[in-house]
Amino acid sequence: MLKHTREITIGSVKLGGDNPVLVQSMTNTDTRDVQATVAQILRLQQRGCELIRSSVPDEASAAALPDIIRQINIPLIADIHFDYRLAIAAMKNGAAAVRINPGNVGGKEKALEVICAAKDMGKAIRIGVNGGSLEADILKKQGRTAKALVDSAMRQLEYIEATGFTNYKVSLKASSVPLTVEACTLFAEQCDIPQHIGVTEAGTVFSGTVKSAMGIGALLLKGIGSTLRVSLTAAPEEELRVAWAILQAAGLRKRGAEVISCPTCARTDIDIISLAEAVEARLAESDKQITVAVMGCVVNGPGEATEADYGIAGGKGVGLLFKKGQIIKKVAENELINELMAMIEAE
């Protein structure tokens, strides 16, 4: 169960409170290229992206926002570095929120201008604190620790809260998984501000998936996180696939079918690897929120398959078709997948 946080509003979307954990990603197109950016966002929407962030590094990017936002269906968050005026311009041009790191937009005064503009326009803010850009005095006193990340965040929040503005979320990110998990946990113990969670600079599809699943997964299992982004050095479509797999495995949200399958071992008489990959591929586009078990032998098959909605268990040349733990029928091995899919589609 998720830990309680206060609710905030990002455009058409509510986040925190009793809302589900929202999935976001970031465009990697040139924001000034409206057509490419819109096309990518529409693809990401289809894959379950619920909030999209785009870099706004210059005025031309800020100027492109109205044309982009008009053609998409999810709130856009402008990612700002260095120039606080771009944050204000992005909100004026329709961004539902901006992501700023107060430390790199010129400090408290500049950050306060952004906060007040957001308050006036009914926008949201993400305050990003990153292990790589901590204030010198905090870093000197505490090192790159969880407490340093939280203290850095709290220093910003003090003057933000003083303005009466509460429509914001916080992210505490580091490329170290234990540091990220510890910092977000410490922050959640100290306040009820919604958190955007993720592991920064996580890496390639392989190592980024491992680190994100660990870090984001460990936090979600503790009930921490109102929205998440899986950061990968890869196409953003990959980030969404991993994000949804994490939410599904955490038992928090479902999107499409989940395939569970046993590892291979000497007892397996069928080609379980191909079978599981094939079932996963056949179900990839399914919107049925089901669990399907692909089991290699009689040892684990029947027992484990009771937890799944549907299942197949392999044997020598023949397999068994299951439904909620009940054997439906015996099927020839080469007909297993077709029979399984027919059973699922018939419901």
By the rule CB under 8 A, 251 interacts with a copy of itself = yes
As a whole number of angstroms, the longest Cα–Cα distance in the chain is 72
Q: What is the DSSP letter of 195?
A: B
- If the CB atoms of residues 276 and 331 are measured against a copy of itself, the closer one turns out to be 276
**Of 75, 102, 194, 217, which one interacts with a copy of itself (CB under 8 A)?**
217
- If the CB atoms of residues 162 and 221 are measured against a copy of itself, the closer one turns out to be 221
Interface of this chain with a copy of itself, residues 300 to 339, rule: CB under 8 A: 300, 303-304, 306-307
Contacts of 50 (CB under 8 A, 6+ apart): 13, 22, 23, 24, 74, 227
**Of 246, 270, 313, 321, which one interacts with a copy of itself (CB under 8 A)?**
246
Q: Where does residue 12 rank: exposed (0-12), middle (13-18), buried (19+ CB within 10 A)?
A: exposed
**Shortest Å, Cβ 60 to a copy of itself:** 11
- If the CB atoms of residues 259 and 321 are measured against a copy of itself, the closer one turns out to be 259
Interface of this chain with a copy of itself, residues 115 to 134, rule: CB under 8 A: 130-133
β-pairing verdict for 22-26 and 227-228? parallel
Q: What is the DSSP letter of 73?
A: S
- If the CB atoms of residues 79 and 167 are measured against a copy of itself, the closer one turns out to be 79
Q: Mask: binding to a copy of itself, 20-59, rule CB under 8 A, as x and -? A: ------xxxxxx----------------------xx-x--
Answer yes or no: are the C-beta atoms of 310 and 329 closer than 8 Å. no
Q: How far apart are CA 228 and CA 247, in angstroms?
A: 10
By the rule CB under 8 A, 231 interacts with a copy of itself = yes
By the rule CB under 8 A, 142 interacts with a copy of itself = no
Q: Where does residue 140 rank: exposed (0-12), middle (13-18), buried (19+ CB within 10 A)?
A: exposed
By the rule CB under 8 A, 215 interacts with a copy of itself = yes
User: Which residues, in sequence order, are bridge partners of residue 312?
Assistant: 294, 321
Q: How far apart are CA 180 and CA 285, in angstroms?
A: 33
Interface of this chain with a copy of itself, residues 258 to 287, rule: CB under 8 A: 258-268, 272-273, 276-277, 280
Interface of this chain with a copy of itself, residues 184 to 213, rule: CB under 8 A: 200-204, 206-211, 213
By the rule CB under 8 A, 156 interacts with a copy of itself = no
**Of 112, 235, 341, 343, which one interacts with a copy of itself (CB under 8 A)?**
235
Q: How far apart are CA 290 and CA 310, in angstroms?
A: 8
Q: How far apart are CA 183 and CA 172, in angstroms?
A: 7
CB under 8 A: which stretch of 8-16, 107-115, 174-182, 188-196 binds a copy of itself? 174-182
**Of 154, 290, 299, 328, which one interacts with a copy of itself (CB under 8 A)?**
299
Answer yes or no: are the C-beta atoms of 177 and 199 closer than 8 Å. yes
